[in-house]
Amino acid sequence: MLASLSYREKTLYASLAAELVVYGSYFFLHGQNSVNQVAGMIVAIIVLQIILQSVIAVLTRNRVTDERDRLIELRGYRAGYLALASLMVIGLGMLWFHATVGHLRLDSGMVGLHFLSVFFGMLVVADITKTATQIVVYRKTL
């Protein structure tokens, strides 16, 4: 199956795997309220991506990308943007709701960390949506 995939598809599967491993462990195995952990996740995803993409580049002889790859990439970015915009609207709505009904005190010291975690989560979901959309479009009619 791996041989039937283009270079771009292989890099997408590697990206998705890296995102799920790093972000998944962040959200499900650790606590979320730490600036150091967010910074650690960003460093981890960059390092893992560099390693995986380097291995794929070395193992793939034909690294051609073409107009279809670029079109699929744009589809992925559109899906990622829509996911991010939707999550931002929902997130801001929830923030307004909690601030209004009094459960969230905006002068609390933990609010900054809470915001950081929530917005980082939104970026993660948007990023995974982008990559997953590209993989799906590669397998479907364009």
**Residues forming the site for another protein (CB under 8 A):** 4-9, 62, 64-69, 138, 140-142
Cβ proximity to another protein, 69 vs 73, nearer residue: 69
- Among residues 63, 77, 70, the alpha carbon closest in space to that of 142 is found at 70
Q: Which residue has the tokens 């790093």?
A: 22
Q: Are 80 and 126 within 8 A, CB to CB?
A: yes
Cβ proximity to another protein, 9 vs 73, nearer residue: 9
Q: How far is the CB of 77 from another protein (least distance, A)?
A: 19
Q: How far is the CB of 44 from another protein (least distance, A)?
A: 31
Please tell me the number of Cα atoms within 13 Å of 97 on its side-chain side. 6
The Cα–Cα gap between 140 and 97 comes to 40
Cβ proximity to another protein, 36 vs 141, nearer residue: 141
Alpha carbon separation from 128 to 74, 76, 99 (Å, rounded): 15, 10, 29
Structure tokens at 35: 């600036």
Cβ proximity to another protein, 62 vs 100, nearer residue: 62
Q: How far is the CB of 78 from another protein (least distance, A)?
A: 17
Q: How far is the CB of 141 from another protein (least distance, A)?
A: 5
